[in-house]
Amino acid sequence: MSSARRFTTLFALVTLLAAGQLPGQAIAQESPEDLVRDRAEIVLDPGYWFNYVHELLAGGTLVLPVPIDVVKPEVYLPTDPVASGDDVWELPRRDQDLLGVDYEWRGRTKTVEDFLRDTETDAVAFVHDGHLVADYYTNGWSADQRHQAWSVTKSFTSTLVGEAVDDRLVRSVDDPIEAYIDELHGTAWEGVTIENLLEMESGVHWDESTPVLAENTQVQQWIQLALDLYTDGALGKTRNEFLMSLPRTAEPGTEFSYNSGNSQVLAWLVETVYGQPFSELLTDKLWKPVGMAADAEILTDRVGDAIASQSLYATTPDLARLGELFRNDGRVAAGPRVVSRKWVREATTMTDTSDGQYGYQWWRGVTPDGYAASGFQGQRIEVSPADCLTGVRFAHNLGVRARSDDGDPGGDGFDVTSGNGEWGAVYRAVADELDGCRGRASGG
């Protein structure tokens, strides 16, 4: 897109905002009263500011000390509901105080309680041997409130693809995507296999890491979706129109390049083969069969197609249930199979092209056998089958670091911080404290 066109689309969106035509929805919303109380406790604690300075000096990390997530596409784009059912996958409580569990981080001994205070974390939960052993909330959040999951959404989308394979609506992940979506003939996506999409190897352009917002593909898409929505199609693009406009930058299957467009094409795939909106698929194929306890929401464009790479709004316990589903090889504990064991194993096998970091929309985890769903600003589902442990983190950790030495994916140099490195230290310390599987063997 030319600089002039970028300016025109940005100006049009700002004009709509100024005209008050973006009413939006507050899907991910903490309790204001609890937010004020919790935030006061944090910012009045000298330890918070000591850690702030320490992270800046020792790690080159500068996190914005804001009380809320300031990136909110749900304010100006619509969402569709994802409904829970009557049968809930119970996670029986076996409470254990984990706030005092200590870990080492950048030359200091810290505790789980310190982590909650220091890292703009909104919620953490740990499920051990199928029991909810601890969950902690701050910044106005609670167990029954929906939080933005960001790219954790991708692992839900991948699971729906697995179900389509199990249902034989997708013959093989080796098939080219245009065999299922006719509109992709003649675009950069032609010849890209479903597996290329799952493994982030499509070769289609997408850059959501650049800090230059006018060149950030995700920001460009949000702008196009909003323009399309609020001008009823006179300006902007729908999800599918935007995806079809993207160029190719590499041959499919040759390079790993993190690309939310890949995940959105996978959503388009399952919408097509099942003939249902994505929100209905989440309801019918995941939310109700898994036994999620609360309703969720998913962001869409004007015509109802889901932005299923980064826009699921769900509760902490329900994210834990997806982790537990995978830890149990695709089966609800003492309940039905939702996705095949074969898919779970394939989805969580890391690829050589990604240097062992990525599978089918799952990242390598922080334990030797682990894997994780990971999202912008520190969202995380962490699974360690050998420890019979699933961990969940919600956060609004937004900032920058001058060097990538904290365990997050990425190389040296200027980068966005999410606190995932310190989360890994916390998770491993909790796993050690809980001391492995106590009940039946992991992955049963």
Q: What is the pLDDT of residue 329?
A: 97
Which of 9-18, 210-219, 241-250, 428-437 has the lowest average pLDDT? 9-18
What pLDDT sits at residue 46? 97
Stretch 431-436: mean pLDDT: 97
pLDDT over 90 (residue 132): yes
CATH number for the domain that contains residue 356: 3.40.710.10
Residue 440 lies in a domain: no
Residue 92: is its pLDDT beyond 50? yes
For residue 444, tell me if it sits in a domain: no
pLDDT surpasses 80 at 6: no
Tokens of 236: 């902007």
149 has pLDDT over 60: yes
Give yes or no for residue 443 having a pLDDT over 90: no
Question: The domain containing residue 34 runs over which residues?
Answer: 1-434
What's the CA angle centered on 63, arms 147 and 407, to 5 degrees?
85
Give the pLDDT of residue 25.
52
| Average of per-residue pLDDT across 283-311 | 97
Is 312 within a domain? yes
In tens, the pLDDT along 234-269 reads 999 999 999 999 999 999 999 999 999 999 999 999
String of DSSP letters for 395-423? E---EEESS--SS-SS-SSSEEE-SHHHH
pLDDT > 60? residue 407? no
Q: What is the pLDDT of residues 315-363, one digit of tens each?
A: 999 999 999 999 999 999 988 999 999 999 999 999 999 999 999 999 9
Q: Is residue 406 a part of any domain in this protein?
A: yes
> Which pair of tokens denotes residue 143?
């167990």
The number of folded domains in the chain is: 1
The per-residue pLDDT for range 387-403, each reduced to its tens digit, is 999 999 999 999 887 75
Burial of 20 (C-beta count, 10 Å sphere; 0-12/13-18/19+): exposed
Helices (H), 31-111: 32-43, 46-59
Taking only the tens place, the pLDDT of each residue in 159-182 is 999 999 999 999 999 999 999 999
Which residue(s) pair with 314 in the sheet? 147
Mean pLDDT of 223-227: 98
**Cα 170 to Cα 197: distance, rounded to the nearest angstrom:** 14
Confirm whether 1 is domain-assigned.
yes
Q: Exposed, middle or buried by CB within 10 Å (0-12, 13-18, 19+), for 390?
A: buried
Residue 204 lies in a domain: yes
Query: Which pLDDT value is given to residue 334?
Result: 83
- The pTM assigned to this predicted structure is 0.92
Residue 442, in any domain of the structure: no
Packing angle, helices 217-230 and 260-274, rounded to 10: 50
Cα Rg for the chain, rounded, in angstroms?
21
Indicate the average pLDDT of the chain. 91
Domain membership of residue 74 (yes or no) is yes
